[in-house]
Amino acid sequence: MAGGTGGAKLACGLAQILPRDCLTVIANTGDDFFRMKLRICPDIDSLIYRLAGIQNRKTGWGIADDTFSCLEQLERLGAETWFRLGDKDLAMHLVRQQLLSGGQNLTDVTTQLGHSLGVHTRLLPMCDEYSPTYLETDCGRLHMQEYFVRESCRPTVRKILFNTRDNAVVPLAVMEALGKADGVIIGPSNPFISIAPILQVPGLREQIEEPGIPVTAISPIVAGRALKGPTARMMSQLGYAPTVLGVADFYANLIQRIVIDSRDAEYEKELRARGLEVVVMETVMRSEPAERRVASKLVESLCKPS
């Protein structure tokens, strides 16, 4: 299960070391929204761009060497331009919207877009329905992208509102992947806005818990800080300790194992006391080799009893 940054990096590492049939990435689509009447799937796009090796590694979003001519012209035409749509990136949204408008579901469209760019890792949206995540903040109710991009995560988050609960269904492809899974890995993504929307899709959690598929979470918090984004701050705002303990609390009753960074080794004992298996390793992925290294160590640790 992955969002668009930490989880996406881990997914790339895993895609490189595992046989194609052994990995399914379930992507958060709670960040989805519409720009210029086009459905944008930021996490799916980040995953595809990363897996295709064309992502902009400097910014962490979009396509490398993209241009912004269209956006500049949109600005002249008076359109809102806080969401930085690159020209190449835009092609993805145009084709996606065309396919969706033609009646295909997001699962199939995602597969097709991935294949077009040479991505053959099985990448599935958490649901086919449009189920955006909203945040109650001290600046009112905001869509995830308004909070994240337009407001640069400045507002204080009071509550997270998932649309998945009422509106979404686990896609058949996700059901099948979970049905065959030997384990579930929760990537080092923001638990609240990247992973929780996936877990909120009705029936998905049961599909993991009932057969008792072992679940491993990789902490997105390292030494009390998020490597990128507002995770640590959001944890505090929502009543969790901004540490690996908070992460463990958040995933309580779901995970059996947690992977924490060496810098957090001090928490190992307390986590074990809560009944969790703990893997301590270097988890920071600042380069492609690091992604492969973390993925390899993770897979290794999952294959032997801790």
Binding-site string for its own copies from residue 185 to residue 224, where x marks contact by CB under 8 A and - marks none = ----------------------------------------
Which string of x and - marks every residue 37-66 that binds its own copies (by CB under 8 A)?
Answer: xx------------------------x--x
CB of 79 to its own copies, least distance (A): 5
3-state secondary structure of 122: strand
Of residues 82 through 101, those in contact with its own copies by CB under 8 A are: 86-92, 94-95, 97-98, 101
Structure tokens at 106: 């997001």
Count of other CB atoms within 10 angstroms of residue 104: 16
Nearer to its own copies, 115 or 180 (CB): 115
Q: Which of 17, 18, 36, 290 binds its own copies (CB under 8 A)?
A: 36
Question: Does 305 contact its own copies by CB under 8 A?
Answer: no
- Between 21 and 65, name the residue whose CB sits nearer to its own copies: 65
Q: Which is nearer to its own copies, 113 or 280 (CB)?
A: 113
* Six token digits for residue 76: 């002249």
| Interatomic CA distance for residues 109 and 29, integer angstroms | 13
- Residue 200: which of 41, 32, 42, 29 has the closest Cα? 29
Q: How far lies 65's CA from each of 62, 113, 119, 286, in Å?
A: 9, 20, 19, 20
Nearer Cβ to its own copies, position 146 or 291?
Answer: 146
Would you say 123 or 198 has its CB closer to its own copies? 123
Residue 55's φ and ψ, nearest 5 degrees, are: -70, 155
State yes or no: residue 269 binds its own copies (CB under 8 A). no
CB of 21 to its own copies, least distance (A): 25
State the nearest-atom distance from the C-beta of 107 to its own copies, in Å.
17
Other beta carbons within 10 Å of 75 = 12
Q: Which helix (H) or strand (E) holds 125?
A: strand 122-125
Strands 134-137 and 157-161: antiparallel
| Cβ nearer to its own copies, comparing 35 with 263 | 35
**Those residues with Cβ within 8 angstroms of residue 61's Cβ, 6 or more apart along the chain or in another chain:** 4, 42, 46, 55, 84
**Interaction between residue 103 and its own copies (CB under 8 A):** no
Residue pair 213/182 in contact by the 8 Å Cβ criterion: yes
**Among positions 67, 262, 287, 306, the unique one binding its own copies when judged by CB under 8 A:** 67
CA distances, 127 to each of 173, 255, 264 (Å) = 10, 22, 34
Position 78 contacts its own copies (CB under 8 A): yes
Least CB distance to its own copies at residue 173 (A): 21
Binding site for its own copies (CB under 8 A): 36-38, 63, 66-67, 69-74, 76-79, 86-92, 94-95, 97-98, 101, 113, 116-117
